[in-house]
Amino acid sequence: MPFPQTRWELVPELNSGDDDRRSAALTQIVNMYSAPLLALARMDFRGRQPQDYEEMLQTFFLKCWEKNPLGRADRDKGTFRSWLITVFKNTVINEGRHATWGPTAQTNQKAFPKGGLISTSVLLDTYGPLMEPQATDTPETLFERVYQYRILTAALEEFREVCEANDVVPRYQVFVARYLDPMESHNGHKGLPKIEDLAREFGYESGEACGRVLRSAFTEFRTIATELLARDCESMTQAERECDLLVATFLAN
């Protein structure tokens, strides 16, 4: 399998000097990492007001636009997201030394990635309990879990688009019904649907036929998720390990 486009390929775009290219690259970073960074911030900088966490992220991304610290990322020193975490923590600490979290990020009128700044209230509504740390979590492990869920949602969206393009939408729907819906019902305590029931619901001729579709759909989804994860991994082997964890955490087995 060819190695997919990596997050490191965003670094030259950040350093291009072209505002449109820089904006597009930073927009990708905002979209992929806002939720994991919010989860990390709420655990690593406890005791702040809700608006403070939004201010932290707003300020961080504006600093990334203005000063371009992410453009100094070095792929020989770890994953892109490990550098992202380091820069984020340093930004929060350094900004906190000089001033309280004021309106600067909200009123800054300089150019910024398409789509604008993030809303932490929307992120909290979207990710819900996943944002809350478990007993054994560190800020970094919480970041990783939310990041994996972000990969899950991106992979599902890509898988749905592929199924729509090929006019096989039931393939996506039966995948969700088998692997996602049980996990979203009572924290995974709902029993797994029977293959025969899924075959009747989605119009397959038999449970065996439905099972073949599910196995094929699972393989296709896993390939998409692995390729997304590989964009910030040192090897496909690492990406496959991370995909194993994603599957075990978020898909019904």
Residues 105 and 66 sit within 8 Å (Cβ to Cβ): no
Single-letter residue type at 73: A
- The model's confidence at residue 76, banded by pLDDT at 50, 70 and 90, is confident
- The model's confidence at residue 99, banded by pLDDT at 50, 70 and 90, is low
pTM: 0.86
- The model's confidence at residue 49, banded by pLDDT at 50, 70 and 90, is confident
Backbone angles phi, psi at 41, to 5 degrees: -60, -40
Single-letter residue type at 40: L
Residues 85 and 141 sit within 8 Å (Cβ to Cβ): no
What's CA 231's distance to the chain center, in Å?
A: 12
Q: Is the pLDDT confidence value at 212 over 70?
A: yes
Q: Is the pLDDT confidence value at 70 over 60?
A: yes
Instruction: Report the share of the chain in percent with pLDDT over 70.
Output: 87
pLDDT at position 104 is: 44
Residues 118 and 34 sit within 8 Å (Cβ to Cβ): yes
The 10s digit of each residue's pLDDT in 6-23 is 677 888 889 998 989 999
Domain ranges in the chain are: 1-128, 133-253
pLDDT at position 190 is: 58
Residues 50 and 65 sit within 8 Å (Cβ to Cβ): no
What mean pLDDT is predicted for residues 129-153?
95
How far is Cα 164 from Cα 247, in angstroms, rounded to an integer?
Answer: 23
Alpha helical stretches, state H, the chain: 10-14, 19-44, 50-66, 80-98, 104-107, 120-127, 139-165, 169-175, 181-184, 195-202, 207-230, 236-250
Greatest C-alpha distance within the chain: 67
DSSP letter for 206, please: S
